[in-house]
Amino acid sequence: MSLVTGLYVVLFYAATILLLVGLALRIKKYATTPAPLKIPTTPAPVTKSGVVWRMVREVVFFESLFKSNKWIWLFGYLFHLGMLVVLLRHLRYFTDPVWFWVNLIQPFGKYASFAMLIGLLGLWARRFLVDRVRYISSPSDHVMLALLVGICVSGMSMTFVAHTDIVQVKAFFLGLMRFSPQPLPTDPLLLIHLGLVAALMIVFPISKLLHAPGVFFSPTRNQVDNPREQRHLAPWAAKLESGE
């Protein structure tokens, strides 16, 4: 095994463990954080199925963002939708045989990368051009955007400018999944792409990108608006009340 392959084997195993364990711990923390008050953003659904539907609209259409800011919604939506199609297209590197619908979306995935890039650049431009937003932007806001732009541009360079050996890339990742490492192609664009992806996996559980799982735990979105019909009692408060 070459030095580069060895380095990337270790890097991807470490990044995967950090991502999975880090995410699990974060989600556990979110799930066990008390929500002592009824604070759904009104007008809010008054039934559980209404809340599920609200959540679906939030996740699929970014509804509350749409209501609050059309520009951020437009760029945010372009980026996320583009990334979704790109990532689904990537499933071909991790599945053998490749599922038929992953084959079907290959051409779309290729061009979805433009939507992803335009969205990211729009969101980034906002952090420089809008005074209020520039003032509250922290270095980590810029770093996360830079990381995603770097991944997108290095990926697109492979797709549209200088191809890598995708058959060997797939052999490498299937090898990792089967615990039998195979050689990784060593062209710089691929090494940059994968290095940045590993960095993203490592920082994900301690970054603002946690809004992805976090949205499901947001009390302003996931609560039923029924404070008169039913007394709201957080589990820890119930324990206190019962004298436990």
* Token reading at 164: 């890598």
Min dist CB 166 to ligand HEM, Å, is 5
Verify binding: residue 110, ligand HEM, rule CB under 6 A: yes
Q: How many residues bind ligand HEM (CB under 6 A)?
A: 23
Asked if residue 113 binds ligand HEM (CB under 6 A), the reply is: yes
The distance of Cα 82 from the centroid of its chain, to the nearest Å, equals 12
Segment near ligand HEM (CB under 6 A), from 72-80, 119-127, 147-155, 230-238?
147-155
CA-atom Rg of the chain in angstroms? 22
Position 26 contacts ligand HEM (CB under 6 A): no
Of positions 120, 144, 169, 224, contacts ligand HEM by CB under 6 A: 169
Classify residue 185 by its DSSP letter: P
86-105 residues in contact with ligand HEM (CB under 6 A) are: 86, 89-90, 93
Peptide bond preceding 97 in cis form (omega within 30 of 0): yes
Q: Which of 143, 147, 82, 91 is nearest to 117 (CA)?
A: 82
Among the residue ranges 44-52, 67-75, 162-170, 219-227, the one whose residues contact ligand HEM (CB under 6 A): 162-170
Residue 152 as a binder of ligand HEM (CB under 6 A): the answer is: yes
Q: Are 134 and 95 in contact (CB under 8 A)?
A: no
Nearer residue to ligand HEM within complex by CB, 89 or 221: 89
Name the segment binding ligand HEM (CB under 6 A); options: 18-26, 123-131, 145-153, 210-218.
Answer: 145-153
The 3-state secondary structure of 23-41, one letter per residue: HHHHHHHHHHCCCCCCCCC
Do residues 204 and 22 lie in contact, with contact meaning Cβ atoms separated by under 8 Å?
yes
| Sequential DSSP letters for 164-176 | --HHHHHHHHHHH
Chain residues in the site for ligand HEM (CB under 6 A):
83, 86, 89-90, 93, 109-110, 113, 116, 148, 151-152, 155-156, 158-159, 163-164, 166, 169, 173, 193, 197
